[in-house]
Amino acid sequence: MLAYDLISETIRKWIKLGKYLPGMKLPKEVDLADQMGVSRKTLRTALDELEASGLIIRRKHAGTLIAEDARERVRVSIVIGIALPSDAKISLSTLYGTGTEEGSVENQLLVRRLLKENFTLNLFFGDWGGDLRMYDGVMVLSPMDSTALLERLADFRKPHIALETHYDYPGVHTVMGDDVSATEACVEELAELGHSRIAFIGGRLGPAERNTGFRRRSDAFRRCCRKRGIEVRPEWIFNEEPVPGKTVFSFRELLADYTRRARECSAVLCGNGRAVLELENLRREIPGFPVQELRCIDLRPFDCTEQELAFLSRFQGFYRSRSLVADTAYEKFYTWLGDPSYQAQCIRVPYRKNMPLSPEQSSEKSTLLNGGTGG
């Protein structure tokens, strides 16, 4: 691509991304040429092309303005690289998801938003060492499997976005749900109710360096209990440490001796709704199952059925709005694509407080989801 073509394409992208708005006056030619690192002759050739396309208006003594209808007229492709884990087996359906919020994770919602906004998406593996300049921005699907890539992106200040797990390296850009604050709020609520012995049900932790959600929530639970002077015993915490070669995780297996270990606890905090469902199964099956005040950090796991979500809606706690996380990620990513001065950061999106339904309301909701009349 010739130098003036590259300048023309860059300005087209800035118009599409909103850095140059309709009616905005461009910098003086000498300043714009210096900003873009080209000669004034090369810049003028690029501006001639943009004027011929109706994207800018040159007025003597008034300077160069962005046309009022430039955003409607502009034709340019914004290319986003989608970085996959090196061992990923990705199909289009896996990347796109189910098409609904309840059955999709944040990455899938963001991919669908990018496609809806007519971005061009190219897939590559996260361990690829090629030239990242071919992409306007990069979305990293599995941050902890692509740490070397994230460091490259951060070092070169390449616009990028990662979701749900933050890799702690200067310049890495992440948007994630704030499960730590939700955990702390649940512990505070239980403490205010007078509970001093609280069981915690997390899940499979994964390696310590991966900073998984269950590990974040477990650590936040311990910190908050210590801060409140609440006793924490190892037998009251239910997590599965990494086991080489083990790929299947079961809440039923994790909670096999829950009655014995947590009998002294007057309350329980669940890491997500799957743990709540298993507890309720045990409560129905085991005579004398402990009666405990329950809170849940995320009452809407993405892999629950509509009927399960209806049942979980009667419990107190929080949930992560996946659409809010994905929309926030899109807005921040879009901003960086059009603003080179944007400061990368870890943005934590608050969880939402669940307003519990009564058993009658949740039963009616479940009946309606099943196609009944609800009456």
**Packing angle between helix 322-338 and helix 106-116, nearest 10 degrees?**
50
Task: List per-residue pLDDT tens for the chain, 375 residues long.
Answer: 688 888 888 888 888 888 888 999 999 989 989 988 899 999 999 999 999 999 999 988 788 999 999 888 888 889 999 999 887 777 666 787 765 555 578 999 999 999 998 899 999 998 888 899 899 999 999 899 899 999 999 999 999 999 988 999 999 999 999 999 999 999 999 999 999 999 999 999 988 888 889 999 999 999 999 999 999 999 999 999 877 777 788 999 999 999 999 999 999 999 999 999 999 999 999 988 889 999 999 999 988 899 999 999 999 999 999 999 999 999 999 999 988 889 999 999 999 999 886 555 555 544 433 444 333
Query: Rounded to whole angstroms, how far apart are CA atoms 84 and 52?
Result: 40
Predicted pLDDT at 359:
55
Does 61 reside within a domain? yes
Given 298, 316, 335, the domain boundary residue is 298
User: Both 197 and 161 in a single domain?
Assistant: no
Structural domains counted in the chain:
3
Does 373 reside within a domain? no
* Most distant CA atoms of the chain, gap in Å: 88
User: Both 100 and 147 in a single domain?
Assistant: yes
Given 51, 73, 95, the domain boundary residue is 73
Does 244 reside within a domain? yes
Q: For residue 32, how many other CB atoms are within 10 A of its CB?
A: 18
User: Both 220 and 189 in a single domain?
Assistant: yes
Q: Coil, strand, or helix at residue 249? A: coil
* Token pair listed for 238: 């239910």
Phi and psi, residue 108, nearest 5°: -65, -40
| DSSP-based helix, strand, coil % in the chain, nearest 5 | 45, 15, 40
Query: Rounded to whole angstroms, how far apart are CA atoms 73 and 67?
Result: 9
Predicted pLDDT at 248:
83
User: Both 156 and 188 in a single domain?
Assistant: no
Given 30, 51, 73, the domain boundary residue is 73
Query: Rounded to whole angstroms, how far apart are CA atoms 212 and 330?
Result: 22
pTM attached to this predicted model: 0.82
User: Both 192 and 246 in a single domain?
Assistant: yes
Q: How is 95-163 classified by DSSP, letter by letter?
A: HH-SSSSTT--HHHHHHHHHHHTT-EEEEEETT--S-GGG-SEEEES-GGG-HHHHHHHHHTT--EEEE
* Token pair listed for 6: 């590259």
H or E element: which one contains 150? helix 147-155
User: Both 31 and 66 in a single domain?
Assistant: yes
User: Both 185 and 120 in a single domain?
Assistant: no
User: Both 141 and 207 in a single domain?
Assistant: no
The length of the chain is 375
User: Both 294 and 194 in a single domain?
Assistant: yes
Sign of the torsion angle spanned by Cα atoms 106, 107, 111, 112: negative
Residue 160 sits in a domain whose CATH number is: 3.40.50.2300
Does 310 reside within a domain? no
User: Both 126 and 36 in a single domain?
Assistant: no
Torsion-angle region of 149 (φ positive above 0: left; ψ -120 to 50: alpha; else: beta): alpha
User: Both 222 and 138 in a single domain?
Assistant: no
- 170, with CB counted inside 10 A (0-12, 13-18, 19+), is exposed
Query: Rounded to whole angstroms, how far apart are CA atoms 31 and 19?
Result: 17
Domain carrying residue 28: 3-73
Task: Show Cβ contacts of residue 5 under 8 Å, excluding neighbours closer than 6 positions.
Answer: 46, 49
